[in-house]
Chains A and B, each alone.
Chain A
């Protein structure tokens, strides 16, 4: 008999407590990026937009427009600028309005 089965019987728990309590496996999920505005420059942002395989990233003047709904959490933007991008760790992303999924990130880096 598999070990997990007997352990589950003994503890009486195989099912996640989510949504009442957080689930430990959530920490290992791939999540959309979070950006560091002071590390972002227009050049870096344009390189990230070119690398993005979908339509998640675009730029309006000095604002990075991040469409979370279009993001596949592939991590290519983080490969372009590891200093400016980290995983956000957010997986509870459901929204009742499409516009709530579009985030404006200011670009505050020094222009070189």
Chain B
């Protein structure tokens, strides 16, 4: 089964966009700021054959100095604040910070002496990916939004069920 021409075009466009903004490839550094590791499991699935992140020009890197995008999970425990700041500062610009999962977005833990409760309290977040955990498809869409290729759908969604007369 060959990919249809329009599919190839989309993948090609995304590849061009990434190469325009970030050179030939976009390198992702993941940062766990106290998550339960389920977000990490979903992130790891992105490199599995079914999702095959590399086909879109995304790669994981172990070094923040090689990274363009910081994928942050967890509610930002205060003990990790210094490390998180150092990781962010070590990254070369332009850099993108993506907060991943309900903890990172401030939905699970409130700020207390142990956690900040959200990633935004410490790092400047560019893209928010909700979900507990976000599925690999949601992560793919979030990464697409982060590089500006995929349109975000969120502003258009109402979360009002169809057929219940929202207009009135």
Contact = CB atoms under 8 A, between A and B. Distances in A.
A36 B160 CA distance: 6
Given A72-B132, A101-B130, A94 B106 contact: no
Interface in A11-28: 11-21, 23, 25-26
B164 to A, nearest CB: 4
Residue of B11, B14, B152 most packed against chain A (CB within 10 A):
B152
A98 to B, nearest CB: 6
B154 A93 contact: yes
Nearest to A87: B161
A67 B159 CA distance: 10
B157 interface: yes
Interface string B101-124: 010011110100000000010000
Given A71-B130, A73-B131, A91-B137, A16 B7 contact: no
Contacts of B120: 98
B161 A25 contact: no
A55 interface: yes
Q: Is the interface of A mostly helix, strand, loop or mixed?
A: loop
B10 interface: yes
Interface string B1-27: 101001100110010000000000000
B150 to A, nearest CB: 6
B138 A15 contact: no
Given A19-B144, A35-B159, A72 B108 contact: yes
Interface residues of A, number: 51
Contacts of B140: 18-19
Nearest to B153: A92
Given A17-B7, A55-B110, A69-B107, A35 B161 contact: yes
A94 B129 contact: yes
A106 B160 CA distance: 9
15 contacts: A14-B50, A19-B140, A29-B135, A34-B158, A35-B159, A35-B161, A66-B159, A68-B154, A70-B102, A72-B107, A73-B131, A91-B131, A93-B141, A94-B129, A98-B125
